Amino acid sequence: MVHSVTPFLWFNNDLEQAIALYSSIFKNFRTHNINRMDGRVFGAEFEIEGQKFNALNGGPTYAFTEAISLFVSVDDQAEVDRIWDALCADGGAPGRCGWLKDKFGLSWQIIPTALGRLMGDPKVVQAMMQMNKIIISDLEKAHAG
């Protein structure tokens, strides 16, 4: 019987910095367990907004790719801006259509709930395709015609 499915993230020896960044961004961040070896963080279990993660300082053998991303649903533009700006800061990189990479190379989607509500309108889709960070007021303008 399956008890749970938890994403497992492989960091390049910067897991402790990732935990510090994510805990500063997400109000509902909890660390459950940090494992140390020779005084350094080796692995951790943490939770972001109710989603559990396991993580490892595995070294440079593997890198994150856009093939998997963390989807963050937010209600308003202030939260889009706050989270987007924090994850892009200090070496992160904006992508298209609400996607970005944080400074560790992990891909995120910062998506306002308004996008889901308006996505059935081809004008909204076209407007979104021109955006990096999603701007709710621009989606609403596209929808209004």
Banded pLDDT at 92 (limits 50, 70, 90) = very high
Contacts of 74 (CB under 8 A, 6+ apart): 80, 83, 110, 111, 112, 113
pTM over 0.85: yes
- Residue labelled with tokens 């560790």: 104
Q: Does 51 lie in the same domain as 7?
A: yes
Q: Does 137 lie in the same domain as 124?
A: yes
Task: Give the mean pLDDT of 71-100.
Answer: 98
Q: Does 101 lie in the same domain as 68?
A: yes
Q: Does 136 lie in the same domain as 71?
A: yes
Query: How far from the centroid of its chain's Cα atoms is residue 92's Cα?
Result: 11
Q: Does 84 lie in the same domain as 26?
A: no
* DSSP conformational letter for 38: T
Q: Which two tokens stand for residue 68?
A: 């998997």
Rounded percentage of the chain residues whose pLDDT exceeds 70: 100
Inform me whether the pLDDT recorded for 2 exceeds 90: no
Q: pLDDT, tens digit, for every residue of 131-143?
A: 999 999 999 999 9
Q: pLDDT, tens digit, for every residue of 41-67?
A: 999 999 999 999 999 999 999 999 999
Q: Does 23 lie in the same domain as 69?
A: no
Q: Which domain holds residue 121?
A: 64-145
Q: Does 78 lie in the same domain as 131?
A: yes
Q: pLDDT, tens digit, for every residue of 95-128?
A: 999 999 999 999 999 999 999 999 999 999 999 9
Q: Does 88 lie in the same domain as 20?
A: no
User: Taking Cα atoms as reference points, which of 59, 25, 29, 26 lies closest to residue 41?
Assistant: 59
Q: Does 77 lie in the same domain as 144?
A: yes
Q: Does 79 lie in the same domain as 137?
A: yes
Q: Does 27 lie in the same domain as 3?
A: yes
Q: What is the mean pLDDT of the chain?
A: 97
- The confidence score (pLDDT) of residue 118 equals 96
Banded pLDDT at 71 (limits 50, 70, 90) = very high
Could you tell me the CATH number of the domain that includes residue 17? 3.10.180.10
- The confidence score (pLDDT) of residue 77 equals 98
CA distance 51 to 57: 20
- Domains in the chain: how many in total? 2
